Structure 1
């Protein structure tokens, strides 16, 4: 007769840990790894703790972001995950920067999708001044016509370009760290991790809100995932998009395996525990990695992208709206927040 093996390891009280975080505690490396290594049977209680933190700062509000791919392909960088890079053979549409009118019309579509933030994203290492001029003209018109927050993602920008974008009305600038400093050289060789950090700091210096996130599933270790979350805390990024690799055939990382849905939920919880006051956004790859557990991710995250991504399809916007409604959550259509929430100690 087989004797059942009982798990005698003491379980972590995730709610108690969440209360400590709300009181100002910063997780140790061991505690952070404990989240990623938690038994699958503890995911519900882990998410309950993450939701305790999320609801304290954001209630049941969900912020929607929508992307326009303002320039596709034609990129000299060799990022292994990206279908637009020079080393990619993925069959994607390639085109130069879209016109001002197309960018402005994209904001109208984002507004119709109930997005509070419209994200203008361009491929390439860095924008030319002419490309920045076009974005600035579009931003000014969008601000006149729509009450929307605008996020720009244009690559490595100069301090002068950052200043001009801020003056034109760009609220937020995205530049992801993508991975841990220790893993960066395995993902790209055409720019450094410090190049990315310097761009984020240039954005902060002119008063734009910094947005920076990660891509999970590129061969990093759990220790490096913790390092990413801590690095973004140290950068004080206001918005943190958490992408889960959607491995695209024709890219160097095109054969990477999908991440398990429960692992994705643990990652989202980790980012909430380490960055309790920040906007945590479930981003690219959620449909193919979280799959049917997508709604559960919103107990840790308070933001998602709606519509399509840069070169991959997203879930139908109506399904996202229904998912939020079914959770009993509420879409925050105008996502202007005067200041990020402050962690009370």
Structure 2
């Protein structure tokens, strides 16, 4: 039995990786990469079998953001030539939900730029979610920025299942990425979400000039927060942002990062998210031996892979898309 299979077995028995073991995952020799992924797959299979959750983003508000996040094309300091528009209408959000349903998506993600939602923004989301639930039965994840307790309660009452607010990086590295809000602001929003009874979704962006120790630290922080869903983004450096030209990643390291998040957060949904196509490239399928969730379609201001290619990839892997109740019959 290999070292990685032994470690996976210990994780399944409740073991938490030491710092040395976590670093060994990120430093795994490329020649041993398939063995590392085999170990990660044993954990993934134990909790999720061969099912894959599909997610789709609706960029409900683009640009016009006062924050200064260094990775983001929508920030106040970005000069990237992106489309900018105010919050969508309920009808637009419903059209997106219909598209998601037809693409076999289980979780529809309503994402908006900005520091936090206005009362009108929350009104639109609440009205849309109520109809989405009635018509399509999709899980709904909202990502609207820093949230107030009363806003979280309203979203929960409307049927929002999950709220995304990424930590993005370690607490130590956070000031290098943005100064317009703090790491603790992000943690506080996740606590507000949890207090309202909404499932917390929080993840990371890898490739922002952080150290391997930063990656380990944020993986542990997400475990401590008890995030149910962990999107793992790989930086897609956009011209016009402070991180323009940053190119620190290769597909093999990205796979090691996904394995690390599975070993540290064995029971959680690990989602391969933004930057999947440009960073994993031809090794995309291997990522699903550690992760159990992906986005289909486009991201916020960057294009994704054709959804038909994603469906074909899953079919070729012999994996099964996790559908919402009634979706299989409706798609026949």
TM-score clears 0.5: yes
Distance in 2 (CA, whole Å) between partners of 1:320 and 1:332 is: 14
Q: Which residue of 1 aligns with 2:193?
A: 203
The SS at the match of 2:100 is helix
Establish whether residue 306 from structure 1 lines up as the match of residue 296 from structure 2.
yes
Establish whether residue 104 from structure 1 lines up as the match of residue 94 from structure 2.
yes
Once the two structures are superposed, residues 268-301 of structure 1 have per-residue CA deviations (whole angstroms, 9 ceiling, x without a partner) of 0000000000000000001000000000000000
Distance in 2 (CA, whole Å) between partners of 1:60 and 1:87 is: 42
Offset of 1:324 from its aligned partner? 0.3
Q: Structure 2 matches for 1:37-186, cutoff 5 A?
A: 37-186=27-176
Q: TM-score, normalised by structure 2?
A: 0.97
Establish whether residue 279 from structure 1 lines up as the match of residue 275 from structure 2.
no
Contact 2:170–2:218 (8 Å) recurs in 1: yes
Distance in 2 (CA, whole Å) between partners of 1:320 and 1:258 is: 25
Contact 2:261–2:270 (8 Å) recurs in 1: yes
Distance in 2 (CA, whole Å) between partners of 1:26 and 1:247 is: 33
Once the two structures are superposed, residues 122-169 of structure 1 have per-residue CA deviations (whole angstroms, 9 ceiling, x without a partner) of 000011111101110000110110011000000001000000000000
Q: TM-score, normalised by structure 1?
A: 0.93
Offset of 1:12 from its aligned partner? 6.2
The SS at the match of 1:150 is strand
In structure 1, the gaps of 5 or more residues are 1-10, 337-345
Establish whether residue 27 from structure 1 lines up as the match of residue 27 from structure 2.
no
Contact 2:209–2:248 (8 Å) recurs in 1: no
Distance in 1 (CA, whole Å) between partners of 2:118 and 2:80 is: 25
Structure with greater helix percent: 2
Query: 209, 217, 221: which is aligned to 1:219?
Result: 209
Contact 2:117–2:144 (8 Å) recurs in 1: yes
The SS at the match of 1:177 is coil
Kindly tell me the number of residue pairs found equivalent between the two proteins: 326
Distance in 2 (CA, whole Å) between partners of 1:53 and 1:301 is: 10
Distance in 1 (CA, whole Å) between partners of 2:283 and 2:226 is: 29
Contact 1:60–1:329 (8 Å) recurs in 2: yes
Offset of 1:333 from its aligned partner? 1.7
The SS at the match of 1:290 is helix
Distance in 1 (CA, whole Å) between partners of 2:60 and 2:248 is: 28
Distance in 1 (CA, whole Å) between partners of 2:22 and 2:104 is: 34
Once the two structures are superposed, residues 225-250 of structure 1 have per-residue CA deviations (whole angstroms, 9 ceiling, x without a partner) of 00010000000000000000000000
Establish whether residue 261 from structure 1 lines up as the match of residue 251 from structure 2.
yes
